Amino acid sequence: MSDQSIDLSAEKYEKHREAGEILAQVRTETAERVEVGASHLDIAEYAEDRIRELGGKPAFPVNISIDEEAAHATPSIGDESTFGEDMVNLDIGVQIDGWLADTAITVDLSGHDDLAEASEEALDAALELVEPGVETGEIGAEIESVIDGYGYNPVVNLSGHGLAHYEQHTEPNIPNRAVSQGIELEVGDVVAIEPFATDGSGKVREGAEEEIFSLEREASVRDRSARKALDQITEEFRTLPFATRWLDSSRPEMALRRLKMKNVVHGYPVLKEEEGFLVSQKEHSVIVTEDGCEVFTR
């Protein structure tokens, strides 16, 4: 694929940009509402409703990760959790006709400013490197170097990723550490770069909780509530992640359990730092241009 064949003003890129513009506003407004005593569910629903008000759709449920949580945490139905003196990671996505923007920010209520700053500085340094021909391993090396300079570790088994049509995670992966074999970025690539920093060893594991799911395959389902849920999933969310609390079913947990048993949907367990240490995160989405990149979630 030659650079000359890429039209960065094409409709799909404009929709990425439109999603990013909405997302930047929602990220700022939502982060301002995170404070001790505020409700996790209120914050998530505020962000998701605001996205819709501004003309987009959530690309995935708002992730609200607390302390050792790194990803895939979102409030449950009727969740009464509130913020304490926590390290709070907000990961928010917007889609316009399936074209995505993805961003994340740490709101630190815990007094660990340096850890939050480490992931932010690592992202800024990574963005400076993005251009056609750069290898993803070089970006990972820069992320690792900056986080190491703060005395922390990158989370090495999480990575940035490509963004495609109705696909939240696709090639290329953008590692958070140096790797010997990477993929060269090309003009027109759309990627999300998301450093995670931790004061732990630098790996996450799967927890037991699942509140986020996505469609694995379509199938015939006999159970009425499961069939109703599947109809909503295929029509409204397609292949993008959704939350249990988004389903209109009267018994969504039961419906999802039946769909999981038939391998129709799969869940995303909450990912946690394996030793229980804190995790910070910062993320932007970019379009690779001829002379660098366009950050469309600022």
Is 72 labeled as ligand-binding? yes
Annotated active-site residue 161? The verdict is yes
Is 102 labeled as ligand-binding? yes
Is 206 labeled as ligand-binding? no
Which one from 67, 68, 91, 108 is the annotated catalytic residue? 91
Report in angstroms the alpha-carbon separations of 224 from 21, 64, 216.
40, 32, 19
Residue pair 24/92 in contact (Cβ under 8 Å)? The answer is no
Which one from 108, 161, 210, 211 is the annotated catalytic residue? 161
Which one from 112, 165, 169, 266 is the annotated catalytic residue? 169
For residue 62 the two structure tokens come to 């708002």
Spatial distance between the Cα atoms of 238 and 241, rounded to a whole number of angstroms: 8
Annotated active-site residue 231? The verdict is no
Annotated active-site residue 67? The verdict is no
Annotated active-site residue 223? The verdict is no
Is 161 labeled as ligand-binding? yes
Annotated active-site residue 266? The verdict is no
* Angle between the N-to-C axes of helices 113-129 and 136-149, in degrees from 0 to 180, rounded to the nearest 10: 150
Is 16 labeled as ligand-binding? no
> What DSSP letter does each residue of 249-284 carry, written as one string?
-SSHHHHHHHHHHTTSEEEEEEEEETTS--EEE-BE
Is 169 labeled as ligand-binding? yes
Helix count and strand count (H, E) for the chain:
6, 15
Annotated active-site residue 91? The verdict is yes
Which one from 86, 102, 138, 189 is the annotated catalytic residue? 102
For residue 104 the two structure tokens come to 């994340």
Q: Which residues are catalytic?
A: 91, 102, 161, 169, 194, 283
Binding residues: 72, 91, 102, 161, 169, 194, 283
Binding residues for substrate: 72, 169
